[in-house]
Chain A
Amino acid sequence: MDVENVVRELFHDALEELLIHYGGSEELELADSCGKTAYDLCAVIGLADRDFRATIGFDATRAGVRALMPAPQDDYADWLGELSNQLAGRFKNKIAELGLSPRLSTPAVIAGTELETLRTGSGIQASECIVAKYSEGEFLASLQLELDSELEIKRSEATEVASEGSLELF
């Protein structure tokens, strides 16, 4: 089984679930694309282990960020950072089933105008790029993977994971 393809699929699932959760009834269109589009905000968050490293980019228009706010607020960069944190967290919880348990970084967010994040070229190759469009805004989620050539899926070493939204009192 190709590890990279499985991981890319899980990233796709994590993104879709996150956007559906916060987008509610908003109609969501997903497309595989790495084309250049200018965004207002770019978030970056990383996952790293000895044989698995991933960088997630999560770019958005301000309208897109606003569309996913549970309640109105002024700090768009902070909310995109939290969305990228939750995207990475969902992704991390999914790949735990493959026996992968990288550490999660804290997100960094850049705000500006006409931001174009480099996705391909100069030795940088995104493994997965997904453009998510709502009626009011747009996101670009990208995944850059660096996998050890010897890396294998080891479901027998899968980490048990608590489900999203769950509560456990000790």
Chain B
Amino acid sequence: MSAKILVVDDSVSVRQQVRVTLEQQGFDVVEACDGLEGVATIAGGNIDCVVCDVNMPNMNGIEMIKKVKADGANEALPILMLTTEGAKELIMQAKAAGASGWIVKPFKADLLVAAVQKLTLASV
């Protein structure tokens, strides 16, 4: 069974780019347009890894991580941030909240795939 990846980004263009990149490698991909929808999708279960933007309306990526990780059932869920933000302080905030990694946009397809492959294997 293919790993199911949730892509959370307010840009439909970015969600599409990530979807195409990951589906080409055999992953199943579902989408959410902001942190609120991301929380709801994760609560529905069966998500193996999350790729998430930081700056989004309604609920940003770091707020989403905190909400998701507050549920002990998501302790092992890998969450990879994909964002234009590069400040180390922000990266540390995300790490402290429970993020598993950070990619600065624009992303390189091979790095994104390698990261998701590593994170989904590690969480098995």
Contacts and interface: CB of A to CB of B under 8 A. Distances in A.
Interface stretch (B37-45, B66-74, B111-119): B111-119
B87 A106 contact: no
Interface string B57-80: 100000000000000000000000
Q: Mostly helix, strand, loop or mixed at chain B's interface?
A: mixed
Contact of A162 (B57, B91, B107): B91
B87 A167 contact: no
Given A73-B13, A168-B101, A169-B100, A162 B111 contact: no
B87 A96 contact: yes
Interface residues of A, number: 35
Nearest to A74: B12
A51 B101 CA distance: 31
A44 to B, nearest CB: 15
Interface residues of B, number: 36
Looking at B10, B16, B55, B83, the one whose CB has the most chain A CB atoms below 10 A away is: B55
Given A85-B55, A93-B86, A170-B95, A164 B106 contact: yes
B20 interface: yes
B46 interface: no
A106 B57 contact: yes
A44 B16 CA distance: 22
Contacts of A82: 11, 13-14
A92 B105 CA distance: 13
A89 B84 contact: yes
A88 interface: yes
B36 interface: no
Given A73-B13, A75-B12, A89-B105, A168 B91 contact: yes
Given A73-B13, A75-B13, A86-B84, A169 B115 contact: yes
A128 to B, nearest CB: 20
A25 to B, nearest CB: 17
4 tightest Cβ-Cβ pairs between the two chains A and B: A89-B84, A169-B101, A160-B88, A162-B86
Given A85-B84, A93-B87, A170-B102, 6 more contacts: A75-B12, A104-B55, A161-B88, A165-B103, A166-B86, A167-B111
